[in-house]
């Protein structure tokens, strides 16, 4: 009997490995087939928002159709670059004045080509709970991949000056499509890193694109309070996943940042590889390394003056009262912890921001956009309808705005 059980176990493991290798081979073939679509022309068109290519995305969406696109954006220094993205066009008739546009910004997924939403075999991800609602209203939804994800890099992850250009230029791209019948009003909604992009668009978008009207910005579990998050997570599994991406990105914008001196030997050896792993595989590896006592960082990066200054530079200030903002945060989030965003809420309310907070009990990081999406949809609907935005600042915070480890 024991020999039979061992034989079954060996066969089962072998079958699992075979399935995994077959899936990897299929994924690689898919990416090779997509490479020509994401290859930029030479030269890249000079006008930002120019669409280079469009094609069907290959998925069904209720109330509309889905496409992938390649469009022109730019780096913070003005150098032209290309980004991939997804475009969702509704079947519903266009309202008077043109269709409103919602720009969706995805969260941290990994820097490899297969991780990119428009290049993925499951591209809809978090947006399934609210995309049909938006298409039913006749809105156009556009979702940037960001420059350097699935296209030539670098990808400037959590760099607002890059993210905002990619978001706004995706909106500009939509407006060049005649059948989209898009107007000039837009709203943003993003998750995690995408929440950082969305919120920063509230600060930088109106000046960057004065021809567009940004009616409000929304975010689920946004990475905002970067110093507090980094200081709380540097020696956890999260440090491996987010840290590897930060180390790949921040030195491209802040070239004098130290790298090896803040990493363990294991961190140095694995950083570049982990940065291009997709989030699930990277997360599993990070948890295993944490279990065996391995750390990515040798010290809290916030203790380094240069890293602290860079993280502070990428932490958004309070939103002006004239720009409505919606933030959803789960109290069971183990990545973007709840108390740093409680600190943001307290600070922004004191500064007079028109902030609506949705606190979601027992919702973790992965679930945040999925759960909050329908409420974000209703909030955005009111902004497009011209309903004055309401603040929740008069309500008590359900989460103490302090680090529980030091309080």
- Cα(187)–Cα(65) distance, integer angstroms: 20
How far is residue 275 from each of residues 144, 270, 284, 294, 385, measured CA to CA in Å? 19, 9, 14, 17, 41
- The predicted-structure confidence for 347-367, as pLDDT tens digits, reads as follows 999 999 999 999 999 999 999
- Cα(138)–Cα(131) distance, integer angstroms: 11
Q: What is the pLDDT of residue 3?
A: 41
Per-residue pLDDT band for 387 (boundaries 50, 70, 90) equals very high
- The predicted-structure confidence for 367-385, as pLDDT tens digits, reads as follows 999 999 999 999 999 999 9
Q: What is the pLDDT of residue 72?
A: 98
For residue 202, is pLDDT > 90?
yes
Any alpha helices (H) in 89-159, and if so which ranges? Answer: 131-136
How far is residue 177 from each of residues 87, 99, 172, 402, measured CA to CA in Å? 11, 12, 10, 47
For residue 6, is pLDDT > 50?
no
Query: Does the predicted TM-score (pTM) go above 0.85?
Result: yes
For residue 11, is pLDDT > 60?
no
Domain regions of the chain by residue span: 51-225+315-385, 226-311
Beta carbons of 31 and 39 less than 8 angstroms apart: no
For residue 138, is pLDDT > 60?
yes
For tokens 């669409």, the residue is 51
Per-residue pLDDT band for 17 (boundaries 50, 70, 90) equals very low
Q: What is the pLDDT of residue 2?
A: 40
- The predicted-structure confidence for 275-330, as pLDDT tens digits, reads as follows 999 999 999 999 999 999 999 999 999 999 999 999 999 999 999 999 999 999 99
- The predicted-structure confidence for 38-96, as pLDDT tens digits, reads as follows 999 999 999 999 999 999 999 999 999 999 999 999 999 999 999 999 999 999 999 88
Per-residue pLDDT band for 27 (boundaries 50, 70, 90) equals confident
> Please, what is the average pLDDT of the chain?
94
Q: Supply the CATH classification number for the domain 51-225+315-385.
A: 3.40.50.1820
- Cα(181)–Cα(89) distance, integer angstroms: 10
> Residue 356 pairs with which residues in a beta bridge?
326
Mean pLDDT of 234-248: 97
Mean pLDDT of 157-168: 98
């Amino acid at each position: 009997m024991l020999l039979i059980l061992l034989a079954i176990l060996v066969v089962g493991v072998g079958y699992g490995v075979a399935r995994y290798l077959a899936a990897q081979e299929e994924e690689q073939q898919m990416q090779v087939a997509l490479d020509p679509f994401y290859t930029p022309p030479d030269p890249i068109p000079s006008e930002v928002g120019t669409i280079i290519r469009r094609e069907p995305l290959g998925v069904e969406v209720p109330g509309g159709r889905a496409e992938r696109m390649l469009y022109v954006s730019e780096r913070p220094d003005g150098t032209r670059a290309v980004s991939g993205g997804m475009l969702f066009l509704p079947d519903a008739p266009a309202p008077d004045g043109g269709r409103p546009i919602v720009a969706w910004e995805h969260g941290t997924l990994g820097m490899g080509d297969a991780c990119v939403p428009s290049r993925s075999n499951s591209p809809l991800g978090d947006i399934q709970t609210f995309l049909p609602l938006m298409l039913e209203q006749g809105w156009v939804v556009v979702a940037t991949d960001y420059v350097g994800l699935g296209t030539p890099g670098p990808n400037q992850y959590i760099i607002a000056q890059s993210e905002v250009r990619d978001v706004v230029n995706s909106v500009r791209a939509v407006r060049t499509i005649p059948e989209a019948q898009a107007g000039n009003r837009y709203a943003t909604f993003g998750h995690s890193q995408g929440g950082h992009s969305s919120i920063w668009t509230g600060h930088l978008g109106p000046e960057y694109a004065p021809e567009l009207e940004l009616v409000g910005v929304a975010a689920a579990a946004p990475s905002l309070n970067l110093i507090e998050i980094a200081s709380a997570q540097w020696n956890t599994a999260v440090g491996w996943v987010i840290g590897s991406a930060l180390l790949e990105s921040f030195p491209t914008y802040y070239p004098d940042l130290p790298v090896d001196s803040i990493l363990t030997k294991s961190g140095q050896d694995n950083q570049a590889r982990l940065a291009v792993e997709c989030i699930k595989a990277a997360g599993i590896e990070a948890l295993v390394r944490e279990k065996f006592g391995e750390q990515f960082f040798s010290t809290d990066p916030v203790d380094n003056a240069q890293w602290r200054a860079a993280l502070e530079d990428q932490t958004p200030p309070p939103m002006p009262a004239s720009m409505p903002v919606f933030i959803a945060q789960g109290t069971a989030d183990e990545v973007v912890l709840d108390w740093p965003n409680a600190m943001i809420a307290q600070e922004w309310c004191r500064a007079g921001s028109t902030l609506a907070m949705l606190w979601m009990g027992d919702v973790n990081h992965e679930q945040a956009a999925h759960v909050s999406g329908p409420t974000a949809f209703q909030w955005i609907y009111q902004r497009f309808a011209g309903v004055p935005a309401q603040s929740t600042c008069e309500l008590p915070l359900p989460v103490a705005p302090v680090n529980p480890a030091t309080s």
